[in-house]
C-alpha cells in the first residue's frame, strides 16, 4: 500500500504541475500537456474526490508503515492544494466575463442580465460532467444539407418543443473542432446549443468533411453549404434566416470566423453564388485564427509543418504562403467590408491554440471593425474548456448567451421591417 500511496501522490502532483504550468515548446509535450491540464483544470473537484478516495484507501491499508507512504501522502497534499488553486481560478471566470461584456458592449447597448439557474441544477450539471439536453429542447438529427459524391453531409437542429412554426427565432450555427481531422456534431458545442435552444433560439450543429481525406478549402466549402441550407430551410423549423450567428471551438472557431469574414466569397460557394452567406455575429471558443503563424506563437513546428502542411493544406508554406494567408481569418480581416460582432473566448493556459495568437486576431479585428469585439480571457482555462459542464464553462456559455441576445436585440432595433417587440 505504501507503493500505491507513492504512485498516487506522485502521479497527481505531476499532473497538477503540468496543468498549472503547461509545456508549450514541443508538439508532443503541448498535446500531452493539454490533455492532462484539460482533465485536471476543468474537473478539479472531481479529481480532488478521486485523489482523496485513493489516499484514504492507501492509508487504511497500512500505506504509512513505510517511508514511501509518507512521501506519497505529502505529494497528495501538495496536489490537493494545486487542485484547490484550480477551483479558485475557475472562480475568476464570472468577473472575466462580466468585465468583457460590460466593457466591449458598453457602446452597443450592453448585454442583458440573465436569471441564474437554480443552484441544485448547476450543481447537478457540474457533478454529472456529461451535457444533458433539457427536456424542453428537441433535437432533430441527421438532416442532409449536401451530398459530395456518395457521401451525405448532415446537421442536427435544436429547438424548443413549444417553439411556434412561425416564430422567426434567431439562429445559431455551431461548427465543431478537432484539428480539422476528427470530431462530429454530436460531441461538441452541446452546452451552447442546449442553452440557446432553451432560450428560444434555433440551433444548427453541422458536420463537414475532415482531413486527411479532405483538403482545405473543402472544410469551409461545407460550412458555406450549411449556411445555404440555413437560408433555405431553417424557417421550416421556426428560425429566422435573416439573423444567423455562427460559432465554434478550436478548428470550428477558425472555420466560423473565416465564414463570418468572407460573406458571399465566390471562391467558397461557386455552385451557389446567388445565396447570401452573410452572418450577423460570430462566437469563437479557443480558436486558431492564423495558419501562416509568421509571429511563431506556436513554439513548435508540429502545428504548421506537420498538421497544416502534410494533413490539412497538403502544400508547403514556403511554396504557397498566400494560400495559408487566404485560409487565415487573421489575414482576411483587411478584405472584409463590414465584419459582424465577434465574441472570442480563450484560456490563458491554452497549449494547442496559444492565447497570444488569439489576442493578435482580436487586436486586428478591433482596429478594422466598428462592430463590437468582445474578448474574454479565462484564467486557468485550457483548450476545449467548454466541452463538458464545469464551474468555468457554465459561466462562459452564459456569457455567450448574453452576447447573442444583445446583438440580436440591436439588430431588431436597427433592421427595417423587423418587429422589435417580438
Write out pLDDT tens, residues 14-61. 999 999 999 988 788 999 999 999 999 999 999 999 999 999 999 998
Q: What share of the chain is helix, strand, coil (3-state, %, to 5)?
A: 50, 15, 35
pLDDT of residue 422: 52
pLDDT tens digit sequence for 101-116: 998 888 777 777 776 7
Q: Which of 90, 118, 142 represents a domain boundary (last residue)?
A: 90
Q: Would you please indicate which residues are annotated as catalytic (active-site) residues?
A: 250, 350, 383
Say yes or no to pLDDT of 136 above 70.
Answer: yes
Burial 183-194 (b: 16+ CB within 10 A, else e): bebeebbbbbbb
pLDDT of residue 122: 67
pLDDT of residue 417: 66
Q: Give me the CATH number covering residue 138.
A: 3.40.50.1820
Closest CA to 256 of 304, 208, 314, 324: 208
Helices (H), 241-320: 251-261
Does 171 lie in the same domain as 67? no
Q: How many Cα neighbours within 13 Å face the side chain of 69?
A: 15
Does 188 lie in the same domain as 67? no
Say yes or no to pLDDT of 401 above 60.
Answer: yes
Say yes or no to pLDDT of 175 above 70.
Answer: yes
The size of the chain, in residues, is: 422
Q: Specify the range with the lowest mean pLDDT, choosing from 93-102, 203-212, 297-306.
A: 297-306
**Is 16 contained in some domain?**
yes
What is the pTM assigned to this prediction? Answer: 0.94
Cα–Cα dist 170/159, whole Å: 11
Does 183 lie in the same domain as 77? no
Does 71 lie in the same domain as 129? no
**Is 195 contained in some domain?**
yes
Does 216 lie in the same domain as 83? no
Cα–Cα dist 385/396, whole Å: 9
**Is 419 contained in some domain?**
no
Does 86 lie in the same domain as 200? no
Looking at the 3D structure of the chain, how many domains does it have? 2
Cα–Cα dist 417/217, whole Å: 36
**Is 138 contained in some domain?**
yes
Cα–Cα dist 347/378, whole Å: 5
Query: Domain range for residue 246?
Result: 93-414
**Is 374 contained in some domain?**
yes
Cα–Cα dist 405/199, whole Å: 9
Does 350 lie in the same domain as 239? yes
Closest CA to 97 of 81, 84, 116, 83: 116
DSSP string, 115-173: PPPPHHHHHHHHHH-SPPPPTTEEEEEEEEEEEETTEEEEEEEEEETT--TT--EEEEE
Rounded average pLDDT over 274-297: 96
pLDDT of residue 346: 98
Does 286 lie in the same domain as 356? yes
Does 201 lie in the same domain as 246? yes
Cα–Cα dist 116/97, whole Å: 14
Q: Could you tell me if 401 and 283 are in contact, meaning their C-beta atoms sit under 8 angstroms apart?
A: no
Q: Could you tell me if 288 and 251 are in contact, meaning their C-beta atoms sit under 8 angstroms apart?
A: yes
**Is 422 contained in some domain?**
no
- What end-to-end distance do the CA atoms of the chain give, in Å? 66
Cell numbers 504509512: residue: 64
pLDDT of residue 239: 98
Cα–Cα dist 314/305, whole Å: 10
Cell numbers 456534431: residue: 185
> Dihedral of the CA atoms 392, 201, 187, 13 (nearest 10)?
0
**Is 170 contained in some domain?**
yes
Query: Which residue would you say has higher pLDDT here, 162 or 62?
Result: 162
Say yes or no to pLDDT of 143 above 80.
Answer: yes
pLDDT of residue 420: 52
Cα–Cα dist 202/170, whole Å: 6
Q: Which of 38, 58, 90 represents a domain boundary (last residue)?
A: 90
Does 116 lie in the same domain as 131? yes
Say yes or no to pLDDT of 120 above 70.
Answer: no
CB atoms within 10 A of CB 267: 11
**Is 351 contained in some domain?**
yes
Q: Which of 38, 69, 90 represents a domain boundary (last residue)?
A: 90
Does 24 lie in the same domain as 102? no
Does 176 lie in the same domain as 82? no
pLDDT of residue 310: 96
pLDDT of residue 107: 75
pLDDT tens digit sequence for 329-372: 999 998 888 999 999 999 999 999 999 999 999 999 999 999 99
Q: What percent of the chain has pLDDT over 70?
A: 96
Q: Could you tell me if 245 and 278 are in contact, meaning their C-beta atoms sit under 8 angstroms apart?
A: no
Amino acid at each position: 500500500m505504501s507503493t500505491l500511496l507513492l504512485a498516487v501522490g506522485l502521479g497527481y502532483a505531476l499532473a497538477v504541475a503540468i496543468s498549472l504550468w503547461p509545456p508549450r515548446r514541443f508538439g508532443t509535450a503541448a498535446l500531452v500537456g493539454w490533455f492532462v491540464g484539460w482533465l485536471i483544470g476543468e474537473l478539479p473537484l472531481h479529481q480532488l474526490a478521486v485523489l482523496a478516495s485513493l489516499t484514504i484507501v492507501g492509508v487504511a491499508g497500512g500505506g504509512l508503515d513505510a517511508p514511501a507512504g509518507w512521501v506519497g501522502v505529502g505529494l497528495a497534499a501538495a496536489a490537493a492544494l494545486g487542485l484547490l488553486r484550480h477551483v479558485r481560478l475557475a472562480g475568476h471566470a464570472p468577473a472575466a466575463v462580466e468585465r468583457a461584456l460590460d466593457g466591449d458592449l458598453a457602446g452597443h447597448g450592453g448585454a442583458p442580465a440573465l436569471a441564474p439557474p437554480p443552484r441544485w441544477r448547476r450543481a447537478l450539471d457540474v457533478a454529472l460532467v456529461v451535457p444533458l439536453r433539457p427536456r424542453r429542447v428537441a433535437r432533430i438529427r441527421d438532416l442532409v444539407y449536401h451530398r459530395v459524391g456518395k457521401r451525405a453531409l448532415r446537421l442536427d437542429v435544436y429547438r424548443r418543443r413549444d417553439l411556434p412554426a412561425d416564430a422567426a427565432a434567431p439562429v445559431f450555427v455551431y461548427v465543431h473542432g478537432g484539428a480539422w481531422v476528427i470530431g462530429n456534431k454530436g460531441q461538441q458545442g452541446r452546452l451552447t446549443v442546449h442553452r440557446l435552444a432553451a432560450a428560444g433560439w434555433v440551433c444548427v450543429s453541422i458536420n463537414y468533411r475532415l482531413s486527411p481525406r479532405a483538403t482545405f478549402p473543402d472544410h469551409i466549402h461545407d460550412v458555406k453549404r450549411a449556411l445555404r441550407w440555413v437560408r433555405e430551410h431553417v424557417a421550416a423549423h421556426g428560425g429566422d434566416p435573416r439573423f444567423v450567428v455562427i460559432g465554434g471551438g478550436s478548428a470550428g472557431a477558425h472555420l466560423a470566423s473565416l465564414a463570418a469574414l468572407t460573406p458571399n466569397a465566390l471562391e467558397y460557394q461557386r455552385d451557389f453564388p446567388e445565396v447570401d452567406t452573410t452572418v450577423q455575429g460570430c462566437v469563437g471558443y479557443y480558436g486558431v485564427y492564423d495558419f501562416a503563424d509568421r509571429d511563431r506563437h506556436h513554439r513548435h513546428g508540429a502545428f504548421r509543418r506537420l498538421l497544416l502542411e502534410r494533413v490539412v493544406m497538403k502544400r508547403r508554406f514556403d511554396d504557397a504562403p498566400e494560400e495559408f494567408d487566404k485560409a487565415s481569418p487573421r489575414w482576411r480581416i483587411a478584405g472584409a467590408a463590414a465584419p459582424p460582432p465577434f465574441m472570442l473566448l480563450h484560456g490563458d493556459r491554452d497549449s494547442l491554440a496559444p492565447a497570444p495568437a488569439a489576442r493578435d486576431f482580436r487586436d486586428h479585428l478591433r482596429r478594422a471593425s466598428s462592430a463590437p469585439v468582445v474578448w474574454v480571457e479565462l484564467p486557468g482555462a485550457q483548450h476545449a474548456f467548454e466541452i463538458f459542464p464545469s464551474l468555468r464553462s457554465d459561466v462562459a456559455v452564459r456569457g455567450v448567451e448574453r452576447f447573442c441576445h444583445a446583438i440580436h436585440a440591436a439588430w431588431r432595433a436597427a433592421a427595417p421591417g423587423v418587429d422589435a417587440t417580438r
